[in-house]
A and B are shown apart, each in its own frame.
Chain A
Amino acid sequence: MSTRLRKRRAINAAMTCLCALGLAVALVPLVSVLWLVLSRGIAALNLDFFTALPSPVGEPGGGVGNAIAGTLYIVGIACLIGVPLGVGAGVFLAERGNGRVGDVIRFTAEVLSGVPSIIVGIVAYGLVVLPMKRFSAIAGGVALAVLMIPTLARSTEELVRLVPGSLREASLALGVPEWRTSLRVILRTALGGIMTAALLAVARAAGETAPLLFTSLNNQYWNWRADQPTASLTVQIFNYAVSPYENWHDKAWAAALVLLLLVGGLSLAARVLTRQRFGARQ
């Protein structure tokens, strides 16, 4: 073997190792984050943590019950606004989006999905908080909905486009009007996939902090009124983490564990849903 060939092979091996090293570098922070949230979170977790109100500094006990409820509440509002709009826009793109208008909207949705979430917070502040003259759960819900719409529209479009054209043609040939074909045949077929996409969008929305900081703000108590400031898990984690108190840091880790379980549970549900759907079809 010539020296030149040996050198080339050595470079090949070295580059392969370097690329494999990339894998290790990517996995180290992931493992570290998950391990620390798990170990430090479990240490501070108890049943009270899920049901009790936050306790003042120095006082033992207390929980984030209101923040868990608040996150679900705000995300619920976001779903009510965001899912119909996002799915509807997606159906529009798939069914009638082949022209100029469709192209513009598709591109807008793509670009919107890259807008920083804090910007959406400012927008919700300007459009909801200022006119209402107060921070509210609904402002937070609007912000999260705006974040959900573009991604949901894009994934719905893809899912609707996956429905075989023969199904539509069969339905139309039987004399079913177009709108019923869309609703009862096309959407019905794509429904499982759309639900998965919606669950993923909800999971992502539940993990957002920045758009909630100055829309739903925070609340030390239980709140079920949509026009009042509302606590959320993510904002609570942020406040606990940047506070100077050791015991609040522990609570931040525990709340982070709860948040990861919530977000992870939703993503897992989406995955199971997808698998079931494909399992049923095969």
Chain B
Amino acid sequence: MQPASETLAARRPGRLTRIAEPARRNFADRAWAALLTILGVTVFVVALFIVYALCKLSAGVLRHTGLAAFVLNSQWDVVRDVYGALPFIYGTLVTSVVALFIALPVSVGLALFLTEMSPPGVRSLISFPISLLAGIPSVVYGLWGLFVLVPVLRTKVEPFLAATLGFLPLFRGTPVGLGYLAAGMILAIMILPTITSISIEVLRTVPMSLREAALALGATRWEAIRMAVLPFARAGILGATILGLGRALGETMAVTMVIGNSPTISASLFAPGYSLPAVIANEFAEASGALQTGALAALGLILFAVTLLLNIAARLLVRISTRGPVRGAA
């Protein structure tokens, strides 16, 4: 008995110092910490790999034509090895702007309706279909767009727009169906859940006292929203919009299936065009030679750089306005 309790007493202070002094932790603990650190750093390594692979693949063509010439050239002629990114950049921007133009009012309205106007039961009822909308694979949206949306656009919507708003160059030309407008509308449907769910999150962080103060001063509900809620949530909603824009810029399959795939620049929204992800999707697997692969990778690099900057800006904005990490954002 005596020796045992003696060793126990002798060991105890040692243990205590071991816990208090991290440098002398035992081997297993240090191995576990090292393993976790490696796994964590992997995320960063993956990001580095993305940058490395894109730069490596596109280095040849960028040296061949030069970045400025590549971006500003509107010719894309695989046979003569002339590669210019302008039609794709233009198509990506136009479709994304159309998408935002449609999706932003709808999703902010929807977010306001669900947070400010409807009873709480409705909100939980609606959150499921909205998440469903976000979960449908983009190729299925493309299928729907190709066989449902495009015919409707060609026979109904585009002739109607041409008849009523035809004085604008945007709505002139033959109604083809496949084109910028179809791609923009599909994109609008696809980014709607993103903008809505983040906006709801941002709106929930608006202090109740702001609404109560506005209402107590005699404001109607809409006036309280316009004067108290929206100014407070502005930065966050802007962040949500930019995240939606980031998704729209990079969305591939649905756009590829409905944009018409023509490397041209047209003022009319009815005309077929092309977008950065769409041309990569269509031509990459069958690229003839390193130069075309490189040119497509360079398009990817442009797309990556733009979405990266947008994402960083958007995350910072949302973070500032909700004052904490965003949940379930993407």
Q: Is the CB of A105 within 8 A of B277?
A: no
Given A115-B307, A117-B252, answer yes or no on A123-B49 (Cβ-Cβ < 8 Å): yes
Q: Is the CB of B252 within 8 A of A122?
A: no
Q: Is the CB of B113 within 8 A of A237?
A: no
B residues near A260, Cβ cutoff 8 Å? 136-137, 140
Given A26-B133, A122-B297, A213-B284, answer yes or no on A33-B110 (Cβ-Cβ < 8 Å): no
Q: Is the CB of B135 within 8 A of A119?
A: no
Please, how many residues of chain B have a CB less than 8 angstroms from a CB on the other chain? 95
Q: Is the CB of B25 within 8 A of A149?
A: no
B196 close to chain A: CB less than 8 A: yes
Q: Is the CB of B117 within 8 A of A179?
A: no
Instruction: Look across to chain A and name the residue whose beta carbon is closest to the beta carbon of B308.
Output: A111
Instruction: Look across to chain B and name the residue whose beta carbon is closest to the beta carbon of A14.
Output: B222
Q: Is the CB of B109 within 8 A of A22?
A: yes
Scoring A101, A116, A175, A209 by chain B CB atoms within 10 A of each residue's CB, the highest score goes to A116
B residues near A92, Cβ cutoff 8 Å? 36-37, 39-40
B residues near A110, Cβ cutoff 8 Å? 311, 315, 326, 329
Shortest Cβ gap from A89 to chain B (Å): 5
B312 close to chain A: CB less than 8 A: yes
B46 close to chain A: CB less than 8 A: yes
Q: How long is the Cα–Cα vector from A256 to B139 in the complex, in angstroms?
A: 8
Q: Is the CB of B285 within 8 A of A238?
A: no
**Among candidates A19, A102, A182, residue contacting B32 with C-beta atoms closer than 8 Å:** A182
Which residues 25-46 of A sit at the B interface, judged by CB distance below 8 A? 25-27, 29-30, 32-33, 36-37
Shortest Cβ gap from B169 to chain A (Å): 27
A residues near B314, Cβ cutoff 8 Å? 114
Which residues 78-120 of A sit at the B interface, judged by CB distance below 8 A? 84-85, 88-89, 91-93, 95-97, 101-102, 104-120
Q: Is the CB of B143 within 8 A of A253?
A: yes
B264 close to chain A: CB less than 8 A: no
Shortest Cβ gap from A180 to chain B (Å): 8
Q: How long is the Cα–Cα vector from A20 to B33 in the complex, in angstroms?
A: 51
Given A85-B42, A116-B252, answer yes or no on A18-B109 (Cβ-Cβ < 8 Å): yes
Q: Is the CB of B44 within 8 A of A104?
A: yes
Q: Is the CB of B46 within 8 A of A112?
A: yes
A interface secondary structure, majority: helix
Given A126-B53, A213-B285, answer yes or no on A238-B257 (Cβ-Cβ < 8 Å): yes
Shortest Cβ gap from B229 to chain A (Å): 12
Instruction: Look across to chain A and name the residue whose beta carbon is closest to the beta carbon of B310.
Output: A114
B302-330 interface bits toward A, Cβ cutoff 8 Å, 1 = contact, 0 = none: 01100110111011000000000111111
Please, how many residues of chain A have a CB less than 8 angstroms from a CB on the other chain? 94
Q: Is the CB of B31 within 8 A of A19?
A: no
A residues near B304, Cβ cutoff 8 Å? 115-116, 119
Q: Is the CB of B140 within 8 A of A237?
A: yes
Instruction: Look across to chain A and name the residue whose beta carbon is closest to the beta carbon of B282.
Output: A213
Q: How long is the Cα–Cα vector from A210 to B250 in the complex, in angstroms?
A: 10
B124-144 interface bits toward A, Cβ cutoff 8 Å, 1 = contact, 0 = none: 001001101101111111111
Q: Is the CB of A107 within 8 A of B221?
A: no
A residues near B257, Cβ cutoff 8 Å? 238, 241-242
Shortest Cβ gap from B101 to chain A (Å): 13
B residues near A158, Cβ cutoff 8 Å? 327
Q: Is the CB of B36 within 8 A of A95?
A: yes
Can you identify 14 A-B contacts, CB atoms within 8 angstroms?
A16-B113, A26-B129, A37-B143, A89-B40, A111-B315, A118-B250, A122-B280, A122-B300, A126-B57, A178-B29, A179-B33, A207-B140, A210-B281, A260-B140
4 more contacts with CB within 8 A, not counting A9-B220, A179-B31, A210-B253, are A12-B220, A16-B113, A118-B277, A209-B253
Residues on A facing B (Cβ under 8 Å): 8-9, 11-12, 15-16, 18-23, 25-27, 29-30, 32-33, 36-37, 84-85, 88-89, 91-93, 95-97, 101-102, 104-123, 125-127, 135, 146, 149-151, 153, 155, 158, 175, 177-179, 182-183, 203-204, 206-210, 213-214, 217, 234, 237-238, 241-242, 249, 252-253, 256, 259-260, 263-264, 267
